[in-house]
Copies of this chain bind each other. A is one copy, B any other.
Amino acid sequence: MGHCVELLAVGTELLLGSIVNSDAQLLSRELSALGLNVYYHTVVGDNPQRLRQAVEAARSRADILITTGGLGPTCDDLTKRVVAECFGLELVFHPQCAQAIRDYFAQSGREMPENNLQQAYLPQGCTVLENRWGTAPGCAFEAEGCHVVMLPGPPRECLPMFRACAAPWLSRLSEGVIRSRTLRVFGLGESQVEQLLREQMNSLANPTLAPYAKEGEVELRITAKADTEGAALACIAPVEEQVAQVLGSYLYGKDGDSLEGVVLSRLLERGLTLGTAESCTGGLIAKRITDLPGASRAFCGGVVSYTNQVKGAVLGVSRDLLEAYGAVSAPVAKAMAEGARRALGCDLALSVTGVAGPDRDERGNPVGLVYVALAGAGFVQVRQLHLGGCAARRDRVRTLAANHALDLARRYLCNLPPEEGTKQEEAP
């Protein structure tokens, strides 16, 4: 039976929703990598009585308690006072902490308000956790069977202090490590993924396999616990392979990968350039590709053709085509991609035209009807998408349309078959 961690954040601003509890997320990741199980997160306000109750509840169900926040002079060092009291410890003055606080102010050229020195009082017998990123020192101690760590609230102090000071102190409690791998899936819904992998999900205990729905895609997380990192990774590998076989070309990457990232690296590998012609996505695809450092080595540029005038003048889409089929149509999507390829001088061009909403277009096409196309040397592919339904929101339609366009390019660049429903033609 391993240890059980509870994270206790102290701060009324969290309960008002002024800030999000990012400390809990950051520390959970670090603890999980150390092989320590986090079972609870709790948040209370700057209130001594409720904080005391929360500490009592935490120590009754966890044997490692990590507090964040409530250490600075503005909150009267609430956390330190209350936690020390709960464990029957006195606060004692640490001269070397006082000196560190004075030095911090001297180095940043500011005058030190006297109330900062109360931060130098820490529970008797504790290990001082030095704060090189701010003024409030943290501390760690063991009392009555519970391991307690106190860290400051600001994430830019909390996280580096955890890594530098708290993690080494806690590591002796850890039994093994937890490692996880995220597999990224595009083109299948969460419940479809679940049906394909239900047997594996139910039968696996270590590693575990679980799906998470994201906007427009699905993540599959494989998590293993083992004595060493090598053993955890070895435990993950066969499951990853099995999942890859089941999901085939729907699996597009792992961990930090993104559709645009995969497209960019395949472009660079193959020495090809890309351009875009966007109508309803309005620059979103170009923006996502150019978010990536090094995009300029493969991305030539794009045209946001929000009006028919721009589709004609810049992309060379003929007025006849626009009148015959309307701007939201397969022929116009193809002509946009081919026009972008010419105008931008790139090897491949993606285009998107559709109805993002909130209203139908002037031809009565429904929100969510979108065409994506890819033009290259001698070919053009086009695909019709229905991204509507009762939950169609403008941002969701745009995100999904951009994902589908990028997936068209990904499949082409990775020599994978196009998604069902994609039409390919030869082109001049």
Contact = CB atoms under 8 A, between A and B. Distances in A.
Interface of A: 9, 12-22, 24-32, 38-45, 47, 50, 53-54, 57, 61, 72-74, 103-104, 107-110, 113, 115-116, 132-134, 154, 156, 180, 189-192, 194-195, 210-213, 215, 221, 223, 275-276, 278, 280-287, 289-291, 293, 295-296, 299-307, 309-310, 313-314, 343-345, 356-358, 386, 388-391, 393-396, 398
Contacts of A39: 15, 44-45, 47, 50
A28 B24 contact: no
Contacts of A22: 20
A314 to B, nearest CB: 6
Given A15-B28, A17-B26, 20 more contacts: A14-B28, A16-B180, A17-B25, A20-B22, A24-B43, A40-B44, A57-B57, A104-B390, A107-B388, A107-B389, A108-B390, A281-B290, A282-B290, A291-B395, A300-B307, A300-B309, A301-B303, A309-B345, A314-B343, A314-B344
A401 B41 CA distance: 36
Nearest to A359: B293
Given A107-B390, A314-B344, A282 B287 contact: yes
B215 A156 contact: yes
Given A28-B15, A282-B295, A283-B286, A301 B301 contact: no
Nearest to A191: B113
B306 A301 contact: yes
A322 to B, nearest CB: 14
Contact of A310 (B13, B50, B300, B309): B300
Residue of A38, A39, A282 with highest tally of chain B CB at under 10 A: A282
Nearest to A42: B42
A280 B301 CA distance: 11
A191 to B, nearest CB: 4
Residue of A26, A38, A215 with highest tally of chain B CB at under 10 A: A38
